[in-house]
Amino acid sequence: MDKVWSSQLKKGLVELAVLAALREREAYGYQLLQRLARNPLLSTTESTLYPTLARLAEERLVAVRQATSPNGPPRRYYRLTASGQEHLRQLSEYWRHLSSAVNELLE
């Protein structure tokens, strides 16, 4: 039950985590998965991440470029667009409001 609850909560935050992970530099899907997995609390699965990336690309919050890979098909590198950066700023602001409101309740 606990696991389901935390999983649901985390999934709601995937978008924020992905945008934040792309803030510094571009990454391809698997690289991003590994980048997020460095913190177990943010670790997500590919069936959640890749659809999220596809949606963010469709909404032009991230731009995609293809680059050759030594292992096979070209890799799709994702980077934040200007509107993606603005969206990240707004989401971060909202997250801070939300977390402080929840913290206030918990204290």
Partner 1 sequence: MNELTPQLRARIDAHLDAVEQQLAAANVPREKRRAIVDDLETQILDMIDKDRPASDADIDAIFRRLDPPEAYGKYSSPPLAAPNPPPADLSEPRVCPDARKGACCIALAIVSQLAGFLGFFVAAGPVININSAQSPAPPNGGWYPEPHPWAKLFLLILAGAAVIAPIAGTWLGWIAVERIRNSAGRLYGLGFAAIEALLYPLALAWIAGFMIWYFIIVAYYDRPEVPNRGRAVCYIGGSCTSILFSVLLIWLLASFTRPRQNSSTPPGAPPLSGNAALL
* Residue from 26, 22, 4, 24 nearest 14 by CA: 22
Nearest distance, CB of residue 22 and partner 1, angstroms: 14
Shortest reach from residue 27's CB to partner 1, in Å = 11
For partner 1, the closer CB: 36 or 75: 75
Between CA 65 and CA 82 the distance in angstroms is 16
The structure tokens listed for 66 are 């293809």
Residues in contact with partner 1 by the rule CB under 8 A: 8, 11-12, 14-15, 28-30, 33, 45-59, 61, 64, 69-73, 75-76, 83, 87, 90-91, 93-94, 97
What is the distance between the terminal CA atoms of the chain, rounded to a whole angstrom?
Answer: 24
